[in-house]
Structure 1
Amino acid sequence: MYDVTIIGAGVSGIFMAYQLTELHPEYKIMLIDKGKKLSDRNCRARSQQECSCNGCDQYIGFAGLGKSEGKFNYTNDFGGSLGRKIGIAQSEKLMWEVDHILCSFGGDKAELYHTYSLELEEKAKNVGLDVFTTSVRHLGTNLSFEVFQNLYEYLLERIDLRFETDVYSIEKAECFEVTTSTGNVKTKNVVISTGNSGSEWTYAQCEQLGLVPGPARLDLGIRVEMRGDQLTSILKDTFETKLHIQREGFEGTTYCMNPNGRIIRKYQHGLVMPDGQNKREENAQGNNLNFTLFVPSFYSSKEEADNTAQQIIGGINRGGERIVVQRLRDLKKQEATTSTILSSNSIVPSLDGEAGNLIDEVPNIYLRALQEFLDRLEKLIGEPIDGETLLYGMDGKFYEAKIQTNDHFEAEVEGLFLIGDCSGETHSLSQAAASGLYVANLM
């Protein structure tokens, strides 16, 4: 009989398992994941069509999405609602505990930096923008691998780990019985920490237990690629910033700002999207700056949100990997950008997109939000945005529908907990990991 069985070895599950071993070394703990251990996560496919993984190694397995750039933002300004659920002070304390743990396993090789600037905050407010602030420990792919491999080796000596294991059912009687492809598990408590990648499985299990998911959020936005020096005046004291605009009918927030980075293709939920890569990543150094302005929408169900993304982004993809790109000047003129125009553009695209017209392919609310934001940004930096700035359609950020849980992340089924992104409460690595620590502290 296990004391705790954690399903999903992403950051929330890992940090919960770690904390339990520290607080309760006598506990018998199982950590199960559909994917592989970290050293075996080796998908090298250049496209989703080429990938033959049973659950792509790029997203599923030990460390989950923490394996990618390993960017930990320590803030309650964005990245989820953990502060509202457990209290701002408690959330901040736990996120800094996450940072301490990361550093103890080698994360201190990455410098901590801060985005707060009172001067920028005041200037932004004067032009109708808000500044979200954070402290950042950006591990990068290589260091992220090292840190999580160290965590894996630590846990390997203290808990039971099962990889490449499918969980078929979770049933509750006197205790929980978890039926898996590698044998059944009896356990006093079950913690689901499957993140966004396991949403369909999570909902199916919750439905069997009589739990109903609520509304869902979807963020869609246009990724912007501009001259590398365009935002120098507001980035002189910080590596990046996060700006927010709110107007009647929409709000938008910049995400994943990458000075001197590049744009790459991101594969998620069967869709292909433009994504930013930081200059600190291998072969990612460039001359441009890129970010996405995400606009959130809310839907009655996760299925409705996913269908909307499929219609919009899937429509752009046209069954392949197509991403459309347009110059800002042409968008303002409501004219298509042609491949000839693109080939002589002063801002050289870092992603091979198809020249076209976003007006024909992107709902107006996202174009309106971007243009209003760029108008305000011009006032903030004191100069026009270069007309040859490139706009890529379309980026997406997916969220889980919330399964109702109490203040301890416990569902209506006693002993069943949902943590991390699958709880619907966290949307960042730092908040997901902190939720794992929080629930572990209560056990």
Structure 2
Amino acid sequence: MTVYDVIIVGAGMGGLFSAYELIQNNPSLKIKIIEKGKKLNERKCFVSNTQQCIRCNPCSIMSGEVGAGGFSDFKTILSPSYGGWLQDYIGWDQTQVLINQFNEILEKFGDQTEIKYPDDELQQRCLRHNLRLISSPLKHIGTDHGRIIMKNMIDFLLDKGVEIDTEMDVKSIINVQENLFKVQTNKTDEECRKVIFAVGRVGNKFIEDYCNRNGIKVYSNHVDLGVRVELPSVIWKEFEDKIYEPKIQYRTKTYEDTTRMFCHNSRGYVVTENTNGILTTNGHAYKEEKLKTNNSNFAILSSIHFTEPFNNPIEYVSSIAKLSNIIGNGNVLIQRFGDLIRGRRSTESRIAMSTTIPTLKATPGDLSLVLPKRILDNIIETIYALNQVAPGTSNDDSLLYGVEAKYYSIRPQTNENFEISKNVYCIGDGSGITRSLSQAGAMGIYVAKKILGNAEK
């Protein structure tokens, strides 16, 4: 049996960039990536054909080569301003160096996207209305172009001898002796000297179970709960043209809670995500003009920070998302903003009369039957605040899809190398430390450098 130097569990951004850094600097390494989803060119979501999620297992939106990034609008944030907390662990300057390297690697494999830079005038406009526009240089590569770039990277890794096995689900990892692990999957057993977990947000339960079995302390992250808003693209066109993504924070007047508008998809699509059988919403956007829509979409999320004695925020948010599926007859809900304000549910006929044509077939309903009052109040107040800088946001025909939930993974206790136990590393969104393509890739590069022994001290 081959004993691999490194087995990487998960072929998302963290896993692929770890593999790249390792093999590029030591071509003699034996590296295998194990991914429970499909190959990139085999990943398909059937919602566009069936008009309803058929709950593929695993979900192709969330799993497969390139991870959740394979069905994202492939924004790359080129500073540590947002997108995770890697800078809290290794410092701002080193995080920036790694993000720059991440960007250079994408360019090596074909990225030629123009960088959008922060805009002072838009920032000042937001501040006048108690809105905080968080800016960073960024690129919108697009779902379509992102897949091409990542396919080039995957082909490079394969040519260098990295093995990538898809549709393999890791069942357990056993430390059979010092510096030797047995990785048991649904198809075969493998042996290796080091393991990197790069399982993404969808692998949160996997990380939690592993930590519980091995006595590794974990910390609960906060969770975000809200809706995805869809409206005519002309409403946010000025922001899109200048900075592409208006990522805006707001502190509500009613509760002084923090809400945020993020994951903006210009002329994009609303999609469903399947996390352990529970459907939530997300969005993505293509680069090619012929693939664009007339709508833009973005999330409005309210952050929830639980204190003792409750320590299971993911279960809390999952139960709310599950309730929306029950009311939606197995689907996510959609409601006109005007109907929500008037205290009535949306119906098929009311959605059909809307001037905003939905890009996702969802079940018309009433989000007030699902979302807690405090969360709903925060969302409504935020929409009215955003209307001050982008008039039309609070139109009656703006569409709200629910729910959108971000289950930021629990954070395992780790050392400075991101080892959760000797020779076992945890990176990317599955570590609870990153929440963007850029920081997941940067963290993957960092851990690879640590393994190679040439990372900055």
- The TM-score, its normalising length taken from structure 1, stands at 0.89
Output the amino acid matched with 1:151.
Answer: M
Task: Find out whether 1:297 has 2:304 as its counterpart.
Answer: yes
Change (3 A) 1:375 1:206: same
Question: What percentage of residue pairs aligned between the two structures are identical?
Answer: 28
Letter in 1 for 2:167: E
Unaligned runs of 5+ in 1: none
Which secondary structure does the structure 2 equivalent of 1:229 belong to? helix
- Look up the match of 2:277: 270
Aligned with 2:377 (options 365, 368, 381): 368
Asked if residue 334 in structure 1 is aligned to residue 337 in structure 2, the reply is no
What is the 5 A alignment of 1:279-428? 280=287, 285-299=292-306, 304-318=312-326, 320-381=329-390, 385-411=394-420, 413-428=421-436
Match of 2:251 among 246, 254, 259: 246
2:272 counterpart SS class? strand
Cα offsets for 1:39-80 (capped at 9, x unmatched): 444564647763554x33443232212222333222323221
8 Å Cα contact 1:302/1:400 also seen in 2: no
- State the SS of the aligned residue for 1:198: helix
Query: 2-side partners of 1:362 and 1:335: how far apart?
Result: 15
**Residue 74 (structure 1) aligned with residue 62 (structure 2):** no
More off after superposition, 376-385 vs 421-430:
376-385
Structure 2 gap ranges (5+): 452-457
Tell me how large the CA RMSD over aligned residues is: 2.8
Cα deviation digits, residues 383-431 of structure 1 (max 9, x gap): 78323322222212221100011222112x2222111111110111111
Q: Does 1:26 align with 2:28?
A: yes
1:197-228 deviations in whole A, cap 9, x for unaligned? Answer: 22222222223322132213321112222333
Aligned pairs for 1:57-136 within 5 A: 57-69=60-72, 70-108=74-112, 111-136=113-138
Identify which of 215, 230, 233 aligns with 2:235. 230
Contact 1:177 1:184 (8 Å CA) reproduced: no
Question: How much has 1:144 moved relative to structure 2?
Answer: 2.5
1:194 to 190, 196, 199: 199
Alpha-carbon spacing, 1:62–1:335, altered in 2? closer, same or farther (3 Å): closer
CA distance 1:213–1:97, change in 2 (3 Å): same
The CA deviation at 1:435 is 0.3
1:380 deviates by 2.7
1:17, 1:29 within 8 Å by CA — same for their partners in 2?
yes
Single out whichever of 179-188 and 386-395 deviates more from structure 2. 179-188
Cα separation, 1, equivalents of 2:322 and 2:407: 14
Corresponding letter in the other structure for 1:72? T
Residues 302 and 401 of structure 1 are in contact (CA less than 8 Å); yes or no, is this contact kept in structure 2? no
Deviation of 1:115 (Å): 4.7
- 8 A Cα contact 1:115 1:241, kept in partner: no
Count of matched residue positions in the alignment of Structure 1 and Structure 2: 439
Q: Could you tell which deviates more after superposition, 428-437 or 232-241?
A: 232-241
Distance in 1 (CA, whole Å) between partners of 2:182 and 2:311 is: 26
| TM-score, structure 2 normalization | 0.86
User: Structure 1 stretch 419-428 or stretch 385-394: which is displaced more?
Assistant: 385-394
Whole-angstrom CA distance in 2 between matches of 1:346 and 1:160: 50
Match 1:218 to one of 223, 241, 244: 223
